[in-house]
Amino acid sequence: MRSIFFTVLISFFLSANAQVDAFQKDIVTFININGTRQLYDNSQDEITEKLKNQIVKKEIPTKEWKKFKNKNKKENLDKLVNDLAFAYRNQFSHDDVKKMMVFYKTEAAQKLINDKSSLTEEDDKVIDDFNKTAIAKKMDLKEKALEKDIAVIYSAWKRDIFSQKMGEIIKNGYSKAE
């Protein structure tokens, strides 16, 4: 009897972990398709350029700067996306995220994100129809709370990037302080 109980208990925990992992994976996919990743990718470049203008004492060779600028870029962005997933998890259910992904995978949504000028009347209809759905209304309702959570996560991430990049500049002898 005891072994049956432990088997059921272990199965429950493994099932729960698999669901959490699937939820996390879906949120990460959603963040990657809804334009958020690209937004923060550009932000990382801006942070690096700001550092260059503020603390670099001498010209960094172009090849060296490009290498420096891109060092750990993907890893930093992946970490941010994974952290942002907690903000979404805090506001939306797994089912909500799946519904949002359905819309954001459409051609109309991708045009809305990447090139609004290419939207057709048909695309506008798809977007209007989505905006009338319960999930779109929930997204609007949760927007301020989500933005607040994201701001906290982004602020910490930005500090980490700034410190990481500043350390590299100093380590390589390019800071004004030297």
Distance CA 118, CA 108 (A): 9
Could you read off the pLDDT of 24-35 as tens digits, one per residue?
Answer: 999 999 999 999
Residue ranges of domains in the chain: 21-171
Looking at 42-46, 139-143, 160-164, 172-176, which range is the least confident one?
172-176
* pLDDT the model gives residue 169: 81
| pTM: predicted TM-score of the whole model, two decimal places | 0.78
Spatial CA neighbour of 168 closest among 77, 81, 87, 47: 47
* pLDDT the model gives residue 167: 87
